Amino acid sequence: MTASVTTLIMFSFWAWMFYDCFHRERGHARMTWGLVFISLHFVGALVYLCTRWIPETLLGHNIFIKRRRLQNELDSAISNVRNIGKAYQYVQLGHIHQKMKKSGHALAAYQQALRKEPHNVEALWGSACIDFQLKNWAQAIVSLERLMDVRPDFKYGDVSLAYGHVLFELGDFNLAQQHLEGHLKQWSHPEAALLMAEIQTHQQNTPGACEVLETMIANVQGSPSFHYRKHRQHVVQGQRLLKSLNCRLN
């Protein structure tokens, strides 16, 4: 009886680690770990626990370890900027400063990258994101317009969405509506539908706002579960706006 229980526990542990590995790893790493699990069985699961699960799941959430990692990445990025100094190195430096929530330093790095490569999409996007976060709408729209000219589909439509959002914040509702109408034909971002509904509300077109919201909510609720979980907060926002507009939710 004891042997059976031990075997069940060992198998459950092996299955748990294997499941975690399947969802965490990608490409060749997943294949390699799969061979480790199959060939070493319980021992392979222990190896995975010690080398992957604990560092990523437990230690990865330790704030001091994260800070140390970021500092190491920052030191390396600064060294690369000094030794190589191309646009790519400045973009990487900007990304790390963003992770460290040093907006001013990140923006300076992106601007330096743009001096070297005026159409560097990563630097344009980084600059736009910082100005967006700081609500510097006039500066953000400059970077976004340049980026729209180069890669309007960058980040799977996030650039286009941000552009529509900035137009809305600047109060140019007609241009924002025109842009978002085109955007929604290409990408089904729930945020874009919420913005469109806000615009319709400003224009006192309540039926139009209700229709946009109802369509968005129905589309998200009918989507795969992972997509619904990702956009559940937008459904909640849409439902609240529907209620405030006295719309009827189908």
SS3 letters for 71-94?
HHHHHHHHHHHHHCCCHHHHHHHH
Each residue of 78-113: b (16+ CB within 10 Å) or e?
eebbeeeeebbbbbbbbbbbbeeeeeebbbebbebb
User: With 70 as the cut, is the pLDDT of residue 64 above it?
Assistant: no
The residue behind tokens 């060992």 is 10
Average pLDDT over residues 27-37: 84
Q: Could you count the other beta carbons within 10 Å of the beta carbon of residue 240?
A: 11
Q: What's the rounded Cα separation, in Å, for the pair 248 and 239?
A: 10
pTM for the full predicted model: 0.71
Element (H, E) at 201: helix 190-202
Q: Using one digit for the tens of pLDDT, what is the confidence trace for 181-232? A: 999 999 989 999 999 999 999 989 999 999 999 999 999 998 888 888 889 9
Give 140 or 224, the one with higher predicted confidence.
140
